[in-house]
């Protein structure tokens, strides 16, 4: 279970780091319409690092409430390094309830950063990511994403980003 929670946390972080850029597609016609883009990355997950933040340790588990899993995953697009994603997941629920962690991540790409949040629980189910903002060409974005873990230290991160503010010469 520890391996699954850690792998899930690392995968979720990696999801935000994908790098295949599909051309922008307008969601609506006309000036000022929101533009969306889909970014897809192959993820290579980093080894799991757990930081013990809680001195009260459950005897039957390798982690406790408040412990953190930190990660620094590598992102690739078409076989080339495209960026990285880094972050941390705080463990917020333990058995007998389902194990659950609250993760924040930063995806670093050449044109700017993308930030997100994701709840993580053990298992192979895709992890849903909320894209909450960014820098550079990703400033004033929102959207969502999905992180899929393949189980071999690799995965796929798909981000659907939407420009939340009109750009250009409009006043």
Secondary structure in 3-state letters for the chain: CHHHHHHHHHHHHHHCCCCEEEEEEECCCCCCCCEEEEEEEEEECCCCEEECCCCCCCCCCCCCCCCEEEEEEEEEECCEEEEEEEEEEEEEECCCCCCEEEEEEEEEECCEEEEEEEEECCCCCCEEEEEEEECHHHCCEEEEEEEEECCCCEEEEEEEEEECCCCCCCC
The answer on pLDDT for 67 being more than 70 is: yes
Closest CA to 100 of 125, 122, 117: 122
The answer on pLDDT for 97 being more than 60 is: yes
Distance between CA atoms of residues 4 and 15, nearest Å: 16
* Mean pLDDT calculated for residue range 161-165: 85
Write down the pLDDT at residue 123. 80
Write down the pLDDT at residue 32. 53
Domains and CATH numbers, the chain: 2-54+62-163 (2.40.480.10)
- Ranking 22-26, 134-138, 139-143 by mean pLDDT, the lowest is 22-26
Strands 112-120 and 100-109: antiparallel
The better pLDDT of the pair 117, 123 is held by 117
Rg from Cα positions in the chain: 17
User: pTM for this one?
Assistant: 0.77
């Amino acid at each position: 279970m520890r391996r699954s929670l850690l792998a899930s946390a690392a995968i979720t972080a990696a999801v935000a780091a994908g790098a295949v850029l599909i051309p922008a597609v307008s969601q609506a016609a006309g000036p000022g319409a929101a533009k969306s883009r889909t970014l897809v990355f192959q993820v290579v997950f980093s080894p799991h690092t757990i930081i013990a933040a809680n001195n009260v340790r459950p005897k039957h588990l390798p982690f406790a409430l408040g412990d953190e899993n930190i990660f620094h995953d590598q992102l690739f697009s078409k076989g080339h390094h495209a960026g990285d994603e880094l972050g941390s997941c705080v463990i917020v629920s333990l058995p007998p309830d389902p194990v659950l962690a609250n993760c924040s991540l930063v995806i670093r790409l050449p044109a700017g950063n993308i930030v997100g949040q994701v709840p993580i629980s053990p298992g192979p189910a895709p992890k849903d990511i909320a894209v909450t903002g960014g820098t550079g060409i990703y400033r004033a974005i929102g959207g969502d994403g999905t992180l899929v873990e393949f189980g071999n230290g690799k995965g796929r991160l798909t981000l659907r980003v939407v420009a939340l503010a009109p750009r250009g010469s409009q006043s």
